A and B are shown apart, each in its own frame.
Chain A
Amino acid sequence: MRKVSRIFELISEVPSVSIVGLDKNTGKTVVLNHLIGLLAAKSIRAGITSVGLEGEKIDQVFLTEKPEIYLRSGTLFATSERDFAAREFPATVLDLREFRSPLGRTVIAQARADGKIVISGPSIIDYLLETVRLLKDLGAEKIIVDGAVSRLSPGSPFVSDALILSTGASVASSVDEIVRRTVHAVRLISLGGVESDIAQRLEPLTNGVWLLQDGCRKLAGTGLLLQVKPDEIRSGVVYINGSLTSATLRRLAVADVTVVARDFTKIFADSDSLSYFSRAGGELKVLYPARLLAVTVNPTSPTGYHLRSEAMIEALEKELRVPVFDVLREGVS
C-alpha cells in the first residue's frame, strides 16, 4: 500500500476536491481548515464553497455550534449574503449571483485578512457547478467543496475531481460498526468505471433502466418497477440511470451481469445486498467513477465519547487501499 504521510501531497494532484462526511461531526471542518492553511502556506489561492443544509450554524441534532471556516487573506469563497455580512474579516465583493436561498443571494468574494466565516454556498447542483466555475475564473487555483452533513452527493464526479471522506466516532458507537460502514462507503466510492466503448453508448441514455446487449432497450422506467428474467440479462450490461436500491440490486443478482450506476452518489444499496449481488457473480460499475484521495477519522463524537483512534485507523487501513488520517493528530494537523 502506498503510504502518503501528508494530505497536502494528495490534493496537489487535483484541481478540485470535495470533502464529504459520512455523518455529522466527522471532522470535515477540521480537514477543510487544515487544507486552507496548507494552501495559504504554499501561496496557492484556494476557492471555497459548500453544499449544505442552509443556515445551519448550530448542529440541529446536538446543538453544538457548527465551526466556522477560518479563511486566509487572499482566499476566494462563495457564501450566502447573510453569512457574508456576518464575516469577521474585510473582503472584496467580486460577484453576486441570484442563486436564491433562505439566506439570500450568493456572494463571491476574496478575503483581505485572515478570519472566520460560515460558508453556505448554493446546494442545487447546477448552481454549485456555476459557482465552482466562477471561483476558477476569478483565479482560484485549488477548489475545495465542503460537503453537506451526512450527504455524499457533493462527492459526485461532476462537482470535483476527487474527494476526501470523513468518518469517525459520530457514525456509530463501536469501532467495528464504524469500520464496517466506512468500508462500505469506500467500496461504493471506489467502484470502477465501465470501458470507454460502453460508456459512449450509455452516456446519451435518459432516465430509466436499460439493457445493453447487441442492441439497447429500456427495461423499466425506474429500478422499482423492474421485472427481470435472469436469462434475459445474463452476460449483459444493465444501466440504471436513476437510484440503485438494495431491492433492485438483489433482483439483478445474476451470474455474469454487469450493473452500471451513473455514479456512486446514485447507489443506495446496503452492504448485504452488495455482497449478495457479488456472490451471485454480478459486477457493479459506474459510468462516472470518482477518485477517493483519503479517509479522515475523527475519534470524538459530539455526545462526548472518545474512541481509540489508533485501533480505528489500524482497522481501516487494513481494509482500505487509501491513506487514513486522524484529524486531530499529526497526520492532518
Chain B
Amino acid sequence: MKLPDCGIDYVLSLVETITPMGRKRLRELDIITDPATIEREFDRQEDVAYRLPISCERLGASLSKIRDIWGTNERLQSGASLEDVELFEIKSFSIWSEKLRALLGECPEWMRLPDLSDVVEMLDPEGTGLEGFYICDSYDGELASVRERVYRFQREKTAGTKEIEELLAEGREIESRIKTELSANLRPFALRISGALSKIGELDFTLAKVILNDRLSLVRPYISESDFEFFGLFNPEVASSLQRSGKDFKPYAVRLDRRVLVIGGNMTGKSVFLRSVVLAQTMFQMGFFVPADTATMTVYESLVYYSGDKQSFESGLSSFAGEMEFLQEAIESLRSGEKGLFVFDEIGRSTNPVEGPAFLIAAMEYLTSGDRCRVILSSHYEEALTVEGAQLLMVRGLDRERISSERNRDISYYIDHSLVEIDKSVQFPREGVEIARLLGIDGEFIDLVERRLLGGKDGKQTKP
C-alpha cells in the first residue's frame, strides 16, 4: 500500500533510532493490514515501556555500542576467510550483544538475544574481556615463538633488517592460517549472529517508538471491527507549527460513521481535520501509537486519501485529473473487495459548480455501496446536505460574537475549529466574504463582491 500524503514523513523524521539495524527497520516500514500484527507491535512498545528490567536510557546507552556487522556476517556465512578488522567486528558485536543479553535478563521472549558466548570465547581466548581484537600468541605455539624472536631482535638489535622482515612475514603467514581456521569455526554461528542483528534492530526501533510516544503524547488505540472514534485527536505537525506562533491546536472529539460529510467555510480547518484522521490511521497501521487521548480504530486493507491540488501538481496532472485518478483508485479498491478507508478533501471542487456536487454525491453513494468501507468527504457545496444517510459534521467556523465585540485580532481568533454533528436543517455556512474581510482584503473590492451577491446597482443582476 502506498503511503498517503498526510504528513507521516514528519512523524517518521522524529523517530530516533540508535543502531544502523534500527534505522534499517525504520526504512523498511510498511503498512500493516493484519490486526494481530498491529497488536503485537503495540504490545512490544508496552514491553519496552513497562516490562524492561533496565531504564530506557540504559538500554539506549547499551545499544549505542553495537555495530552493524551485517556485511561481515554475510561474508562469514559465504565461507570467506575474515580479515583482522572483520574478526574485530564480530568480536565487538558479540561482546556488546552478550552484555545487552545479560542486562535484559528475564525479558519478554521477542527481545531475548541468542547466546553468543562461544563466539566471544573464540575471539578472546585469553578472556581479557576487551573489545580490541588481536591474534594472540595462544592461538598457535609457533606464532608465539616467531614473535618472541622478532621482539628480541628488535629490542636487542641482534639481527639484520632482512632477517626481521622474514620473521615478520612468517608471522603474517601463521596469522593468515589462524584467520582461516577461526572463520571456519565461527561459520556455524553466522545464523545466530544474524538473528541477534535483527532482534537488536527490532529492540532499537521499538525503543525509538516508545520515546516518540512520550514525546508526542501518543496513545495505544483500541482495535475494533468497525468503530472509529477519537477523543483529543490532534495533528503533531500542525500542533508544533501552531505552538511556534504561540497558538494551541484544538483537539477533536468525534465518532465517525461509515458515511461522513464534513462541511464548513473556508479556512475553518476541514482539511486539517481530514489530514489528522488520515495521519492517525497511517500511524496506526504502521504500528505506531496515535495522536489522541483515546482512540478506537478499524484496520483497513486500503487507504486512499486525496488531499488537494498539491498532489496533482506533484504528479504533473491538472487538479481535476488528479482528483479523478484517486477516485478511480478508490473505486478499483472497492471493486476488488478490499476493506477501504476513502478520504477526499473537497471532492468535485475542481470542476464547475453544476457537475461538482454530482461527483460528490455519486462518490458517497458508490464508495459506500459495499458494507465494509468507510468514506469521509469534505465539501463546501450546499448540495452536500442532500447526501442520503450521511453523518454530517460541521466545523463551527466564524464566531460572530467575537467579531462584533473585538477588532483587529489575528483571524484565527475569530474561527472556532471545533466539530459539531448537525442535521440537514442547518443553515449552510456562507462565510467567504466575512473571512476575506478578516484577512484584510481591500474594502472597496469586498463591497463590490457583496453588491454582486445582492445583485445591487453596479453588479450585473443575475436574478430578478
Please report A residues at the B interface, Cβ cutoff 8 Å.
73, 81, 84-85, 88-96, 105, 107, 110, 112-115
Contact = CB atoms under 8 A, between A and B. Distances in A.
Interface in B401-422: none
Contact of A91 (B84, B89, B147, B150): B84
B434 interface: no
A90 B85 contact: no
A117 to B, nearest CB: 11
A112 B168 CA distance: 11
Contacts of A90: 134-135, 147, 171-172, 175
B154 interface: yes
B85 A113 contact: no
Nearest to A107: B85
A93 B165 contact: no
B250 to A, nearest CB: 40
Nearest to B20: A98
A81 B71 CA distance: 15
A105 B88 CA distance: 13
Cβ-closest 9 pairs across A and B: A93-B88, A92-B134, A94-B132, A92-B132, A93-B133, A114-B154, A113-B150, A93-B84, A88-B168
Contact of A96 (B67, B135, B171, B172): B67
Given A93-B88, A96-B88, A73 B151 contact: yes
6 contacts: A85-B83, A88-B165, A91-B134, A94-B132, A113-B147, A113-B150
Per DSSP, chain B at the interface is: helix
Interface in B20-72: 67
Given A92-B132, A96-B67, A115 B85 contact: no
Contact of B133 (A81, A92, A115): A92
Interface string B207-249: 0000000000000000000000000000000000000000000
A85 B85 contact: yes
Given A84-B85, A113-B147, A89 B168 contact: yes
A199 B210 CA distance: 45
Contacts of B133: 92-93
Nearest to B151: A113
A93 B134 contact: yes
Contacts of A95: 132
Contacts, number: 51
Contacts of A112: 134, 147
Contacts of A96: 67, 85, 88-89, 92
Contacts of A115: 168
Contacts of B171: 90, 113
Interface in B146-191: 147, 150-151, 154, 165, 168, 171-172, 175
B154 A113 contact: yes
Interface in B64-110: 67, 83-85, 87-89, 92
Interface in B102-154: 131-135, 147, 150-151, 154
A264 to B, nearest CB: 37
Contacts of B88: 93, 96
A108 B291 CA distance: 45
A94 B150 CA distance: 22
A93 B168 contact: no
Contacts of A94: 131-132
Given A89-B168, A90-B172, A92-B134, 9 more contacts: A73-B151, A85-B83, A88-B165, A92-B132, A93-B85, A93-B87, A93-B132, A93-B133, A115-B168
Contacts of A113: 147, 150-151, 154, 168, 171
A92 B84 CA distance: 8
Contacts of B89: 96
Contacts of A89: 168
A91 B88 CA distance: 12
A81 B147 contact: no
Nearest to B89: A96
B168 A81 contact: no
A323 B132 CA distance: 41
Nearest to A112: B134
A289 B154 CA distance: 41
Contacts of B175: 90
Nearest to B83: A85
Contacts of A107: 85
A89 B135 CA distance: 12
A239 to B, nearest CB: 33
Contacts of A81: 85
B86 to A, nearest CB: 9
Contacts of B168: 88-89, 113, 115
A113 B175 CA distance: 14
Contacts of B147: 90, 112-113
A93 B90 CA distance: 12
A256 to B, nearest CB: 46
Nearest to A93: B88
Contacts of A84: 84-85
A73 B154 contact: yes
B91 to A, nearest CB: 9
Nearest to A113: B150
B151 to A, nearest CB: 6
A88 B132 CA distance: 19
A110 B67 CA distance: 20
Contacts of B150: 113
A161 B156 CA distance: 35
B141 to A, nearest CB: 16
A238 B154 CA distance: 56
Contacts of B85: 81, 84-85, 93, 96, 105, 107
A95 B65 CA distance: 11
Nearest to A94: B132
A242 B434 CA distance: 54
B407 to A, nearest CB: 40
Contacts of A114: 154
A94 B134 CA distance: 9
A320 to B, nearest CB: 36
A85 B132 CA distance: 16
A113 B172 CA distance: 12
Contacts of A73: 151, 154
**Most chain-A CB neighbours within 10 Å: which of B85, B133, B165, B171?**
B85
B72 to A, nearest CB: 10
A107 B463 CA distance: 84
A72 to B, nearest CB: 9
A85 B85 CA distance: 8
Nearest to A108: B132
A65 to B, nearest CB: 16
Contacts of B83: 85
